[in-house]
A and B are shown apart, each in its own frame.
Chain A
Amino acid sequence: MHNGSGADALVIDGLHVSVDGMPILKGIDLQVPKGEVHALMGPNGSGKSTLANTLMGHPAFEVTGGSVTFKGQDMLELETDERARLGMFMAFQYPSEITGVRVSNFLRMALNAQREDEISAMEFRRLMMEKMRLLRMDPKFAGRYLNEGFSGGEKKRNEILQMAVLQPELAILDETDSGLDIDALRIVADGVNTLRSADMATLVITHYQRLLNYIVPDVVHVLIDGRIARTGGKELALELDESGYEAMTAAQEA
């Protein structure tokens, strides 16, 4: 049924999702092969975060139809942590604050959860410091409590730090650009671009075209009211930037 996407791709087929009995996603078909970066754009409330959270297995989102497979496995059967250990990662739009848990301890535990054998303290430290340098983060950051008192930009950078350390095979970035000034946006985008590889499928969710100047996508999807309204190349993002979502919404309703 799906051609050319490879067995390792993220394959979303006819996905329907409800929250509190209210349908939000109304039949999503989407494939992100490894090695590609896809952008998911759409107006506020169109269901972008709903899709991201559903892919990651958030318990509040009820799948009422369709399927999600990744690396040939049925994702919907798996718990959130099992999906993560298979290589799925989501950079949160609103990361949670966990008081008393230091960034470094958390990262190390998360990394160990995905490894067969525990990483040594020294090796871990080297890895973390390298990734923090990549994202131009102050080393003191490692000792802070996870997201507690972080600025919006720090939270986003911390999400990408986790991605850099965990090296997922599927990365979903949910509005990682929101709350970032232009310098921070560049740093985060550079980080993501450095992590881009033939082994990783990436879904970049964004409201604005701006981020896509820095993380240039292979494919752009536009989500409107729970459905993919358009799919195209990177020029689609530019088109949206000029004409806005409303034109497309009108087109969809017409």
Chain B
Amino acid sequence: MAVKSADFGLDTYKFGFHDDIKPVYKSPKGLSAEVVREISRQKDEPEWMLEFRLESLRQFESKPMPTWGADLSRIDFDDIYYYIRPQDRQARSWEDVPDDIKNTFDRLGIPEAERKFLAGVGAQYDSEVVYHSIREDLEREGVVFLDMDSGLREHPEIVREYFGTIIPNGDNKFAALNSAVWSGGSFVYVPAGVKVEVPLQAYFRINAENMGQFERTLIVVEPGAYVHYVEGCTAPIYATDSLHSAVVEIIVKEGARCRYTTIQNWSTDVFNLVTKRAVAYRDATMEWIDGNLGSKVTMKYPSVYLMEPGAHGEVLSIAFASQGQHQDAGAKMVHAAPNTSSIITSKSISRAGGRAGYRGHVSVLPGAERSKSNVVCDALLFDDESRSDTYPYMDIEESNTAVQHEATVSKIGEQQLFYLMSRGLTEEQAMAMVVSGFIEPIVRELPMEYAVEMNRLIELQMEGSIG
């Protein structure tokens, strides 16, 4: 690859790093109504949010653990810090960002030029967003890009209108947990007709041992508007299990389009259990691009509810599982109106005993005539110890529809590797090239710097993979 590792600082990133930051407040380990009240009090939230949190806690306690998907038995809810706050106040300009945090950005390899170019940089540092800036012209157009806590403070009426409406707090156990203890995440509001040309990017990190990360994102795209939100997750490596449980809600109104891109590279001790859902109204388009490389366990099925005619939903998903990892990724599409369409493209890669799969659900409700759905899932296996699963559920309650599903499983071939190595590529490079090619249809949809980073991550995954 033309890009040197130093450009992205990914060598250090691969091994994880700590910074010496003194959190201002850390809740005691474990979950209780008292902890939830304290979080809300620290944030000086309105009463309705406290009520929402407490109700969510009750939901969490009453819900069973999911018995399908991945093994979650090692999560100990009593052994987690649910809230930590590294800064007393938000930094509004780059100069205000503390040096040790800037240092972290350096090590994450966010280039200087890019920082300036970005419409805004939201960095989830521990459970608080410590830095957020919005480019002035975005602000002038009325685009809001804030961390969720600030969003709630500055735009309480919008937040109250939508928060928890797409993913109700009782949706599932982990959505309930997030709803009770959420902190950070992003709030994005794009007014009607505004097309945000640069991707809005947020960088996330976990930085305290046993620290839960429960960010909450709400994106509202008004009619005819467009936004691309990019979430990249990185995390230092710890010896003990961590839990990341996010909730992302998106509303895409008439004729609007939203793209949400994630490259998830949590350290391999993290349970990553995320609920992502969007609703798309008349002629709206919602696209989820979801790359999962890291974590110990990921369960994530971005979904789109196609509510009105002409709505279109798309999920492009990559799951890469190495030794000790289980990526249970997938997608859900609900066709609730006529003439709606959806496309799901899933690419999973398993190596060294890793387990990656696709779990999908396409449902066409009665009356959703002339709906179309196309599902393609391809799996690439490195060896016989690794595993790939495909669970494509379909609920078709309307006869006048076209639903297609295709699945392939292939094994990385000795002949392919020989061919590439005969041109001078090392075995690792050859494998990385086969994998990069396999996921290329998705990677080419990523913003340039993420595509480069993605390929770099694939190369890093291959390092030391030769027995």
Contact = CB atoms under 8 A, between A and B. Distances in A.
Contact of B433 (A83, A85, A101): A101
Contacts of A146: 437
B421 A84 contact: yes
B426 A81 contact: yes
A81 B424 CA distance: 4
Chain B interface secondary structure, helix, strand, loop or mixed? helix
A106 B419 CA distance: 11
Q: Interface size bucket, B side? A: 20 to 34
Interface stretch (A90-98, A132-140, A213-221, A237-245): A90-98
A85 B439 CA distance: 28
Interface in B366-425: 413-416, 418-425
Given A99-B437, A106-B433, A92 B419 contact: yes
Nearest to B430: A81
A250 B434 CA distance: 46
Contacts of A96: 413, 415-416, 418-420
A80 B433 contact: no
B138 to A, nearest CB: 33
B429 A109 contact: yes
Contacts of A113: 423-426, 429
Interface residues of A, number: 32
Contacts of B1: 109
B323 interface: no
Contacts of B416: 96, 98
Nearest to B435: A100
Contact of A56 (B413, B422, B427): B422
Given A92-B419, A98-B433, A81 B425 contact: yes
A166 interface: yes
Interface in B271-300: none
B211 to A, nearest CB: 37
A60 B414 contact: yes
A118 interface: yes
A100 B436 contact: yes
B467 to A, nearest CB: 13
Contact of B440 (A57, A89, A101): A101
Contact of B437 (A56, A60, A83, A101): A101
B5 to A, nearest CB: 14
Contact of B418 (A80, A99, A110): A80
B423 A110 contact: yes
A90 B422 contact: yes
A110 B425 CA distance: 6
B355 to A, nearest CB: 23
Interface in B314-370: none
Interface in A204-244: none
A59 interface: yes
15 contacts: A56-B418, A59-B414, A59-B418, A60-B414, A84-B421, A84-B423, A84-B424, A96-B419, A101-B433, A101-B440, A106-B423, A109-B433, A113-B426, A118-B2, A121-B2
Given A101-B433, A101-B440, 11 more contacts: A56-B418, A56-B422, A79-B427, A81-B424, A85-B424, A96-B419, A101-B437, A109-B1, A109-B429, A110-B425, A118-B2
